A and B are shown apart, each in its own frame.
Chain A
């Protein structure tokens, strides 16, 4: 089945402020006691959204003004820590289709791209302007243009960065590489045969 070409992502956006937001925070380990990814969306950022009695706090993800957001805005080193794909999976299953951050931890970035979820990097000053705009007018539609590497909102445009290989695979609909990898088995077998170990 051909994969979708991800040329742009549009929707409303929510800021989850802070640097070094780790994957334990995105999805605490105890919710990974599962053999499928189903239902992970429910636990997104669980421990910073609920108190110990299960009551919602004032986290932006609990704020009705931001409900239905499909783009997340955050700080530097987003997704650091554990390699758990459960993190981007929980974002995806909670309805998110892209993340804008200062930059991304390497493993998270790869996992997210593999799901067809663009992760674009934006400068500090642009992120601040964008956050101000969103917090003032949460209903503003935001568009991430993967081709032109721009984020557009309310007539403003902010430049973003995305590694060329990841951008190409999103634009060409090859973000899940399995079919391409399966197509090279002859070369793989040859390489395996000449390796110094089994």
Chain B
């Protein structure tokens, strides 16, 4: 019998047919929307007098623009206020479920989907947001789209796409203590390049991914796009099913067993073929920190900032550009770089387990004077669970600000932003120039615990040494 990988099976199950230009018309089973990339799409529907064809397959929340330090409306930023009102109206007019701020279910769209049980194996999932790859952690094929495609999805529940090749990335062995999913994905991107994944879906596998919790798998899949891969996924297993059991939108009762059987059938067949295979040993991976202006410009915590003359000729111009922007000296150890701001949150690392891990280590420590440190739960559900466990108090006692749920300082479309050339130790996913809201602001990406270590010492530090017990 022919053997297929998960990508091929899901693709086949959702292919409506081929279009005149050779692209596939793909059915998208779950469509998630937010306030930034959807208003123009609804505007286009209104212009053409089209309804939302399958309103029960689209779910909305508000995340990018919500302030994390105020809950009452109208928001002090009239533009943000206009955007949330627009989304509310669009959902109401077109019959779309909206996890609004008063539902207790609002949050970053890639945190909300999984925790509500909307994200399930074998699905196609799209959202006008590149970090939609996060949902691949459940064995779904999930990808970011532009606003015109949001329109296509609202109007037809389908879009045009070219089939991707599949690269299996196995991480084998055992991660050392203090090395997290964030380090694994930063290491993969560093190794394969920020555009190494263009044209590929990444299938993450191996002992490390088998052992990972669902939230760790989400962290890794989340950043597939930073390596150029629009899709990243992990094959579904018992952990996937256990995570979903009992979630609000997960199948129930008699449907549950049937669904699990169906979900299992989507996993890549043993012995199926891939377009490429990369094998990485877990012991190669150390806590990893970016020093540059794209997520591939990263080093292990014990390494030095690159010296352009020692690097490939083709990379030198971008290294020089990055060093100049980051105001870092080549050849210096990355450890000891002074920071101004520490940010724990985002769709990469704003989940309960991220907050629990940090809170379990920081008791008795204080954020360094002069460092602004904020913790932003990924969703209202995460926030509620964290507060029930007393994590907010642990963070506040250590000198962190505890905020309301949202995208916050990951992309700073809200009041949380860097000022001037502040340097931020950040658990988010992008270190592009100006990403955190100031045109000269600087970002270093790392795991949440490494962010905490930097907050406490005031400089980039090895969390394993700071929190050694």
Measured between beta carbons, the chain A residues less than 8 angstroms from B155 are: 178, 181-182
Asked whether A107 lies within 8 Å of B120 as measured between CB atoms, the reply is no
Q: Are A85 and B147 in contact, CB atoms less than 8 angstroms apart? A: yes
| Contact stretch, chosen from B22-30, B282-290, B338-346 | B22-30
Q: How many angstroms between the C-alpha atoms of A18 and B80 in the bound complex?
A: 33
A85 and B148 contact, Cβ closer than 8 Å, known pairs A24-B432, A24-B433 = yes
> From residue 12 to 39 of chain A, which have CB atoms closer than 8 A to chain B?
18-20, 22, 24-25, 28-30, 32-37
Interface window among A64-72, A129-137, A143-151, A188-196: A188-196
Cα separation A28 to B57 with both chains bound (whole Å): 31
| B54 x A181 contact (CB < 8 A) | no
Closest-by-CB residue of A relative to B132 is A83
Choice from B162, B321, B439 contacting A165 with Cβ under 8 Å: B162
Residues of A within 8 A of B294 (CB): 20, 22, 80
Stretch at the interface among A2-10, A152-160, A168-176: A168-176
Contacts of B198 in A (CB 8 A): 77, 103, 105-106
The verdict on B142 contacting chain A, using a C-beta distance below 8 Å, is no
Contacts of B147 in A (CB 8 A): 37, 85-86, 111
Asked if A107 meets B145 with Cβ closer than 8 Å, knowing A163-B162, A191-B27, the reply is yes
Nearest chain B CB to A186's CB is how many angstroms away? Answer: 10
Cβ distance B157 to chain A, nearest Cβ, rounded Å: 6
B195 and A192 contacting across the interface, CB-CB below 8 Å: no
| B458 / chain A contacts, CB cutoff of 8 Å | none
CB distance from A190 to the nearest CB of B (A): 9
User: Contact between B195 and A181 (Cβ–Cβ < 8 Å)?
Assistant: no
Number of interface residues of A (CB under 8 A): 61
- In chain B, positions 391-431 with a C-beta closer than 8 Å to chain A are 411-413, 430
Q: Are B412 and A29 in contact (CB-based, < 8 A)?
A: yes
Partner pick for A181 among B22, B79, B123, B160, CB 8 A cutoff: B160
Interface pair B228/A105, CB less than 8 Å apart: yes
Quick one: which of B27, B40, B293, B439 contacts A192, CB cutoff 8 A? B27
Known: A47-B433, A80-B228. A176 touches B148 (CB 8 A): yes
Residues from 420 to 456 in B contacting A, C-beta threshold 8 Å: 430, 432-435, 437, 439-440
**Does A90 reach chain B (CB closer than 8 Å)?**
no
- Write out the residue numbers on chain A whose beta carbons fall within 8 Å of the beta carbon of B14: 191, 195
Chain B residues, CB < 8 A from A195 = 13-14, 27, 29
Are A181 and B159 within 8 A (Cβ)?
yes
Let me know if B130 is at the binding interface, CB within 8 A.
yes
B50 nearest CB neighbor, chain A only: A182
Cross-interface CB contact of B21 among A48, A88, A115, A172, cutoff 8 Å: A172
Is B20 interfacial (CB 8 A cutoff)? Answer: yes
**Neighbour of A197 across the interface among B29, B43, B144, CB < 8 A:** B29
The reply to whether the CB of A74 lies closer than 8 angstroms to some CB of chain B is: no
Determine the distance from Cα of A189 to Cα of B39 in the docked complex, in whole angstroms: 26
B378 within 8 A of A: no
The 6 A-B pairs of least Cβ separation, nearest first, read A111-B146, A85-B146, A83-B144, A47-B439, A35-B39, A33-B79
| Contact surface of B with A, Cβ cutoff 8 Å | 13-14, 16-17, 19-23, 25, 27, 29, 36-37, 39-40, 43, 48, 50, 53-54, 56-57, 64-65, 77, 79-80, 82-83, 86, 120, 122-123, 128-130, 132, 143-149, 151-152, 155-162, 194-195, 198-199, 225-226, 228, 230, 251, 259, 262, 293-294, 317-318, 321, 411-413, 430, 432-435, 437, 439-440
**What are 13 of the A-B contact pairs (CB < 8 Å)?**
A32-B64, A34-B83, A77-B195, A80-B294, A81-B430, A82-B430, A85-B148, A105-B195, A107-B144, A114-B146, A169-B23, A177-B152, A181-B155
